[in-house]
Amino acid sequence: MKNISFLFVIVALVLASCSDYLDVPNPNAVPSDRYFSSEIDVDKAVAGIYNAIRSNNCLGESSDLFNEERSDNAGRLDNQSSAGEPFQFTNFSLLPGNTNLKSHWSALYVTVSRANYVLSYIDDPSIKFADEETRKIYKSEVLFLRALTYFHLVRKWGDVPMVTENLTSYDAIVEHTYRVPQAEVYAQIVTDLKAALDSEIPNLQVAAGKGRTCKAAINGLLGQVYLTLGELFAEGSQENLTNARTYLETAYGMRSFGQLPDVPYADVFDVTKKNSCPEIIFQIVYKQGDLNYSSGLAARNQSIGENINSLKPGTGQGTYVNPDLVNDYEANDLRKDFSVKWADNAKAKAWFITKYRDASSTAGVNAYGGNDFILMRFADIVLMLAEVNERLGNTAEAIDYLDQARTRAGLPLYAVANADPVYHAKYPTLQLAILHERRVELAFENHRLFDLLRTFGAEPQAFVDYIKGKNQADYGISDLNNVSAKDVYFPIPFDEYKLDPEKMYQNDGYN
């Protein structure tokens, strides 16, 4: 009996490691031997996938550790105690054993697993739907969510394990425990997104559907995937960029307003307008005043001595904003005063984020805020259209899109700005001007790392040179000397690598 117990424990431990990205038990409380028996079961399971991405270890409001703090936008002024492991991200000293890294990996694969579970059984004809189109819409949502998750995985780790079916045995888990070439992962993402368009899912969600995906989001993500492929890989670059423009234009054509200046910048982040603002395409929804489903983003960002974000008094420095970003705002850019503020308290003396605010009585002193976390909006689409047109040589079109964002921000048109020697010296090419515009427009929305990698990642040394070319004094206490070519990817978490060092090989520079 002791031997049997020992074997059970060993198998359980191995399953625990493997299931970080396979999550064998069904996470949505529908027993795996039952699968789905009704449309209601499917609805609950799909809701479980949306719930998975809202985790702060996945794509939720506090997942900025894995993007903003890994870029040149945000960082930390504390490298001790509880800040030690998070500091590794912004200090470019990330170790494979980092528990935050492992949590992010695991949370992303929980989402993949939940999506695979639904996709493995949703087409079962024994599941009766009042309207068969509803089945197709659910499938579109799940395919989108799986593609979105793999898109995060492949950009952060490169080659990653890829599973597209529900695995129900230990042997199946072992069989799929290996890294797949990133080209195959990208191909699966494209396949999923194209299939997701094959339903009557709405172009944009109405207020009651906020938090669920739509055709504009699917087209927008597909455009971003093709843009990434076109920027990073020489093979098929022209075709990928052309495809990117096609899908981005399709997404843009689904807007319900004219151009960006028609939508005030502050409206995008106004908690009272989050269900009606026409610029928002896809968001993670938080419920104002609710203990369990509210947002803590406004209060978390707020510095001591400040009350602009939340009625809850700040106790620390808030989310530290690198002066490098603050210095990147042009004079009279209205986005600056809306997005960041200097905290003059003696215990702060630093810039903090003010982009997300909820100082309402409903949120109260407990900071049960209503800020949704926006994953996609039309300004992102517009500036990607500027980027892809620049890459395709369509300069006039690129500038037209760029000027939409600049006009709304109260800035001179690009042609005027580019004639200014100071502006031109900082952004000597249209490509760098667009990269700059994306930075100040989309700051703290978890785009910056991917924008840098898309722009410089094809030549890792270019990424290194760009980061090291910054002023150390504008980068907090993070050491820019640590940056190297390894930093275009995260390390494979050590617990995953040790499962099979050959099939789960480590990324270069982390051994």
Output the DSSP codes for 64-87: GGGTGGGTTSEE-S--SGGGHHHH
Residues 179 and 257 in one domain: no
Residues 186 and 224 reside in one and the same domain: no
| Triad 456, 462, 467: Cα angle to 5° | 90
The C-alpha atoms of residue 103 and residue 160 are separated, in whole angstroms, by: 16
Same domain, 210 and 189: no
Domain for residue 175, yes or no? yes
Please check whether residues 178 and 238 belong to one and the same domain.
Answer: no
Let me know whether 218 and 114 are in one domain.
no
Shortest CA distance to 162 belongs to which of 506, 507, 504, 508? 504
Q: Burial of 402 by CB count in 10 Å (0-12 exposed, 13-18 middle, 19+ buried)?
A: buried
Whether 50 and 169 share a structural domain = yes
List, in sequence order, every residue forming a beta bridge with 340; answer none if it has no partner: 353
Give the domain-ending residue among 167, 201, 235: 201
- E strands, 322-446, are 340-343, 350-353, 373-377
Domain count, the chain: 2
Sign, CA torsion 418/325/477/87: negative
Residues 463 and 488: beta-carbon distance below 8 Å = yes
Local structure of 373: helix, strand or coil:
strand
Question: Does residue 124 form part of some domain?
Answer: yes
Give the global pTM.
Answer: 0.93
Q: Is the distance from CB of 246 to CB of 252 less than 8 angstroms?
A: no
pLDDT score recorded for residue 206:
96
Q: Evaluate whether residue 387 is within a structural domain.
A: yes
Please tell me whether residue 313 adopts helix, strand or coil conformation.
coil
Residue 19 lies in a domain: yes
CATH code of residue 428: 1.25.40.900
Burial (CB count <10 Å: 0-12, 13-18, 19+), residue 415: exposed
DSSP 470: S
In a domain, 420, yes or no: yes
What pLDDT is attached to residue 401? Answer: 98
Shared-domain flag, residues 42 and 162: yes
Q: Are residues 112 and 232 in the same domain?
A: no
Residue 75 in any domain: the answer is: yes
Residue 61 shares a structural domain with residue 156: yes
Q: What's the pLDDT at 19?
A: 34
Last residue of a domain, one of 172, 201, 230: 201
Give the three-state DSSP class for 156: helix
Residues 63 and 188 in one domain: yes
E runs forming strands in 309-410: 320-321, 340-343, 350-353, 373-377
Same domain, 235 and 121: no
Say how far apart CA 210 and CA 208 lie, in whole Å: 6
Residues spanned by the domain of 390 = 204-264+380-458
Evaluate whether 275 touches 350 at the Cβ level (below 8 Å).
no
- What's the pLDDT at 96? 97
Instruction: Compute the C-alpha angle 461/467/473, nearest 5°.
Output: 150
By the 8 A CB rule, do 484 and 509 touch? yes
Q: What's the pLDDT at 80?
A: 66
The predicted structure's pLDDT at residue 81: 55
Determine contact, residues 221/147, Cβ cutoff 8 Å: yes
* 182 vs 88: CA distance, rounded Å: 25
251 shares a domain with 173: no
- Outline where 253-373 has alpha helix (H): 297-301, 323-326, 334-339
pLDDT value of residue 168: 83
Q: Are 439 and 328 contacting, i.e. CB atoms less than 8 angstroms apart? A: yes
> Does residue 503 lie in a domain region?
no
With respect to residue 327, please indicate whether it lies within any of the assigned structural domains.
no
Of the residues 155, 182, 201, the one at which a domain ends = 201
pLDDT in tens, the chain (511 residues): 333 332 232 233 333 333 333 333 344 444 454 579 999 999 999 999 999 999 999 999 999 999 999 999 999 887 665 568 999 999 999 999 999 999 999 999 999 999 999 999 999 999 999 999 999 999 999 999 999 999 999 999 999 999 999 988 888 888 889 999 999 999 999 999 999 999 999 999 999 999 999 999 999 999 999 999 999 999 999 999 999 999 999 999 999 999 999 999 999 999 999 999 999 999 999 999 999 999 999 999 999 999 999 999 988 889 999 999 999 999 999 999 999 999 999 999 999 999 999 999 999 999 999 999 999 999 999 999 999 999 999 999 999 999 999 999 999 999 999 999 999 999 999 999 999 999 999 999 999 999 999 999 889 999 999 999 999 999 988 999 999 999 999 999 999 999 999 999 999 999 8
Which CATH number do you get for residue 64?
A: 1.25.40.390
DSSP string of 230-265? HHH-STTHHHHHHHHHHHHHHHHTT-SSSSGGGS-G
